[in-house]
Amino acid sequence: MIKSALIRAVDGAHVAIRDALGESVPATGEVSLLTTDDFRLYGRFTTVNYNSAQAATQIVTPIAGGSLILTDLIVNARAVNGRSVQVILSDGTFSETLFDADITAPVSFGIAFGGRWRGWENASLRVTTDTTRELSIAVGYIKTPDGLAYAEWDALR
């Protein structure tokens, strides 16, 4: 059986030890250990919908000096021949394209990012489209208070 331990930071004492599939504890004031990830605690989402021509739109902007971690991306678009859609991370100086398509047939996809799809300092998520109609984009994200400069971020990929 895998065990989890809750350790008091001050003195290193074990406060509680639990089996991974242990019995539930009644609300008696006992200490319980609960673990989760940042995506479940701090994750947010936003959506944008286009019904007419629009150039570039910022979907999500980071905290000043911070960065974004992407958790999910959903794109739905109806076919409009010769139209393009781009989803881009950009800080106004540097840009990296995450999705680029010419919409000649209906497009519908979703990505649950399993890795750390994190942008660099002050890079926002943007959509660029040239008169694509009936386009919707949903993005899941976490805003972090810090971020790497683009050169440092680029060196890590």
Q: In what order do the strands lie in the sheet with 107-118?
A: 44-50, 135-144, 67-77, 107-118
Q: Report the distance separating Cα 51 and Cα 78, nearest Å.
A: 10
| Residue range(s) defining the domain that contains residue 124 | 39-156
Q: Within this chain, do residues 68 and 139 fall inside the same structural domain, yes or no?
A: yes
pTM of the model: 0.74
Identify the pLDDT of residue 33: 60
Q: Report the distance separating Cα 97 and Cα 87, nearest Å.
A: 6
Q: Within this chain, do residues 25 and 66 fall inside the same structural domain, yes or no?
A: no
Q: Within this chain, do residues 50 and 125 fall inside the same structural domain, yes or no?
A: yes
Q: Is the dihedral of CA 154, 47, 35, 29 positive or negative?
A: positive
Q: Within this chain, do residues 71 and 115 fall inside the same structural domain, yes or no?
A: yes
Q: Within this chain, do residues 19 and 79 fall inside the same structural domain, yes or no?
A: no
Q: Residue 108's closest CA among 124, 85, 127?
A: 85
Q: Within this chain, do residues 70 and 99 fall inside the same structural domain, yes or no?
A: yes
Q: Within this chain, do residues 84 and 112 fall inside the same structural domain, yes or no?
A: yes
Indicate whether 26 pLDDT > 50.
Answer: no
Q: Within this chain, do residues 83 and 141 fall inside the same structural domain, yes or no?
A: yes
Q: What are phi and psi of 29, to 5 degrees?
A: 90, 0
- Residue 13 tokens read as 């004492």
Confidence of residue 144 (pLDDT cuts 50, 70, 90): very high
Q: Within this chain, do residues 70 and 87 fall inside the same structural domain, yes or no?
A: yes
Mean pLDDT across the stretch 120-149?
A: 89
Q: Report the distance separating Cα 73 and Cα 10, nearest Å.
A: 41
Q: Within this chain, do residues 75 and 4 fall inside the same structural domain, yes or no?
A: no
Task: Let me know the angle formed at the C-alpha of 63 by 59 and 67, rounded to the nearest 5 degrees.
Answer: 75
Q: Within this chain, do residues 77 and 128 fall inside the same structural domain, yes or no?
A: yes
Q: Residue 64's closest CA among 151, 143, 142?
A: 143
CB 84 within 8 A of CB 129: yes
User: Domain containing 67 — which CATH number?
Assistant: 2.60.120
Q: Within this chain, do residues 16 and 43 fall inside the same structural domain, yes or no?
A: no
Domain count, the chain: 2
Confidence of residue 2 (pLDDT cuts 50, 70, 90): low
C-beta atoms surrounding 11 within 10 Å:
6
Identify the pLDDT of residue 24: 46
